[in-house]
Amino acid sequence: MSEDDFGDLRRRDTERHLLAAVDESDNSKRTVMFLADFFSDSPNVFITLLSIIPEPSEDFFPTETERQAWLQEKESQMQKTLAGYKELLIGAGFQDGRIESRLSIRPCTSIGDAILEEQEKLRCCIVVVGRRGISHSEEFVFGSTSSKILHHAKHCAVMVVE
């Protein structure tokens, strides 16, 4: 599914559409396993697996070639991870047609905001994220994506998988 193709939103409004925001972390895998376990026998649940790759600043690489190489590798890794998550859901009983994967590579100051923008476009009724379990100090310096989504989500429910 391309970044600008949001599918049949009219049909989607009548479904239980979950947006699962994932990356390559263990807590994302746990999140997908939870969804597989909890919703696999619900025939009208539709899942979009979303991964956001923030475009890294040019400052982090000596040359643009190295930046592009990093992005290509990251995209390839994430495509494999998304395919793995999809297989996991199918293995649990989800139909192939009820799962979509979206990979968005974009300039991004907040992954939480980017996830909520996608939620708004796709009209998902639930946003599902994993929780990294970061320390107090880490949250102080880096912030927390799940906290951001919990505090800023509108017109949807939020599910945080521990």
Q: Which residues bind other proteins (CB under 8 A)?
A: 57-60, 62, 109-112, 135-145, 147-148
> What's the CA gap between 142 and 70, in Å, rounded?
22
Closest CB 77 distance from other proteins, rounded Å:
17
Judged by beta carbon, residue 7 or residue 54, the one nearer other proteins is 54
148: left (phi over 0), alpha (psi -120 to 50) or beta: alpha
Judged by beta carbon, residue 36 or residue 116, the one nearer other proteins is 116
> What's the CA gap between 29 and 85, in Å, rounded?
7
| Spatial CB neighbours of 118, under 8 Å, sequence gap ≥ 6 | 19, 21, 50, 52, 102, 104
Closest CB 51 distance from other proteins, rounded Å:
15
Judged by beta carbon, residue 14 or residue 109, the one nearer other proteins is 109
Closest CB 121 distance from other proteins, rounded Å:
20
